[in-house]
Amino acid sequence: MPLIGDKFPKLKNVKTTQGIMSLPKAFKGKWFVLFSHPADFTPVCTTEFIEFQRNYIKFKVLNTELIGLSVDQVFSHLKWIEWIKENLNIRIEFPIIADTGEIADCLGLIHPSKGMNTVRAVFIVDPEGTIRAIMYYPQELGRNIDEILRAVEGLRISEDEGVAMPANWPQNRLLGSNVIIPPAQSKEEMLERVQKVGEGEYLCMDWWLCHKPWYKKYKTSRWREI
């Protein structure tokens, strides 16, 4: 089972609803979110796919692609997304992997007590093919798509600026939408930090707890206005 910081496994000749793909090669230069669901034609999974699709443009704005997965045949995926289009007027635009169980086993998605059904897992992978976040949910709990978007956006900003995000960012009760500056690792860094506080670039409660506005650079969130 891969862990955070590992390279996403190289998967060749992956059968999907949009043809044969190789991962992570198919999304080279982009972030991508691979999410597994227990089975097609199930109520919670249907609501999740609708919400992923409704937020698809928000992921696109963040240069992030979506790809689903379950241990179902490709014709089952196709009939399911056809049902969603005909009955709910939602067209699923992202690909879905038709797995025999091999990929799910490689990614640690098979729950021992649930037969061959995959757990609700989320892998967030960066443009270099490195796994940056992993989330797991039980079958009875549908995912919060806003939280996955928040995670992707936070990871991108962290990558761009070398910062960290506080709890509930960007609505933290202590720091608001500000981002956290990593603690100084040397006396020189501490002195530099004091200077930046004096210049108004950083705000500090102590030498190890400094933060700054991220809106200074981005003005507004890259997807929340959509």
Query: Rounded to whole angstroms, how far apart are CA atoms 83 and 60?
Result: 25
Query: Rounded to whole angstroms, how far apart are CA atoms 75 and 221?
Result: 39
Asked if 66 and 94 touch (Cβ cutoff 8 Å), the reply is: yes
DSSP 223: S
Say which residues have a Cβ less than 8 Å from residue 160's Cβ, sequence separation at least 6.
none
Whether cis (ω within 30° of 0) applies to the bond prior to 170 is yes
Asked if 179 and 84 touch (Cβ cutoff 8 Å), the reply is: no
Query: Rounded to whole angstroms, how far apart are CA atoms 133 and 182?
Result: 19
Query: Looking up tokens 């976040």, which residue turns up?
Result: 133
3-state secondary structure at position 172? strand
Q: State yes or no: is 45 an active-site residue.
A: yes
**Which residues does the annotation mark as catalytic?**
45
